[in-house]
Structure 1
Amino acid sequence: MCHGYREEFKKASSPPPHQQQPPPPPDIPSGSLLNLETLLAALDAIEIYISSQVRTALNVEATTIHDELRTVFGDEAPSYRTIARWAQWFREGREEIEDEERSRRPVTESTPENIEEIRSIVSDDPHVTIAELQEYTDLSYSTVHRILSDHLELRKITARYIPKQLTDYQRSERVRICKEYLSRFTEGG
């Protein structure tokens, strides 16, 4: 790796390189696609990675490595937890610091099939609970809740799922019933 420009910069300035922005070299026109700050940040990341790997190979503790990196890079240094994780990986023989692929749940379980299955269960039994829907469908609580509230637009009222949007008839019927109850109440009956 070539550090010619960085070495000259380090010698010429007293603050650490991450705190000062060097002027672009004369042969690189300003506004070009090459962003010197990005390049220096990438070099810093590579230096941190290699330094951590070498210091781990020399059996230096992660706390010491982190303290050294904080001295050189200040707030730009990775957290202690990151350095400790890298050190563990290096001791295990890993060369790369990217996370390994993991098997995980699908990003969404709100598939049309699951939505239709829950719609069918709720229409058969409007008193069904989310826990029961979980058992029937093998979906998570949050997925069942999301399907009920977002996809089916249902909400639970007095232990029964009803549509969020009432039709004009339903609204007028509710008003009529409320007026009837109010008149009974005022009449004393």
Structure 2
Amino acid sequence: MNNKIISIYSLFKFQEQAPSLATIYLWFKEFERERLSIKQQKGAGRPPTAVTEENIVDVKEIIENDNQASHAIIEHQLRIGSSAVRTIIHDHLHLKKVVSRFVPHQLSEFRKAERVKICHENLNLSNMGATKSFPKLLQETKHTFPFFMCLPAKKVVYGFTKMRKRQP
């Protein structure tokens, strides 16, 4: 085997430009297995299954329904990894987190008008009833407030053992 590898190594015209011996050993093993191409095979490695059109649409729906949804909630509901959630949110949906809410980088005209309308309603409510308490204001408004979904917590049990004192 060494004679064959040395002869392959000597085929290169200039030894400085020759690949390393480790690379030639790898090629030799591949040729022995009758693999005649040194290019990387298509499909090698883990396929990207988490960032799919279906998951992108699902993440978009979750965020539209609850813009305070955290990465952990999305991971739990869709059963995908944190890097896939991050890729979908930031690279595909082009959203960023602002004050713990996902908002689009640029608002559409409809969203801008909706926010202005809500601000005017809140101003009118606060001007009308300065003596009203906050819970009464919440009951009178038509807006719904998002809630947090509790994820199942990991239970960790710690065990302690008493150390015996050494007798002199």
The TM-score, its normalising length taken from structure 1, stands at 0.44
Higher helix share: 1
The TM-score, its normalising length taken from structure 2, stands at 0.48
The one of the two structures with greater contact order (alpha-carbon pairs below 8 A, sep at least 6) is 2
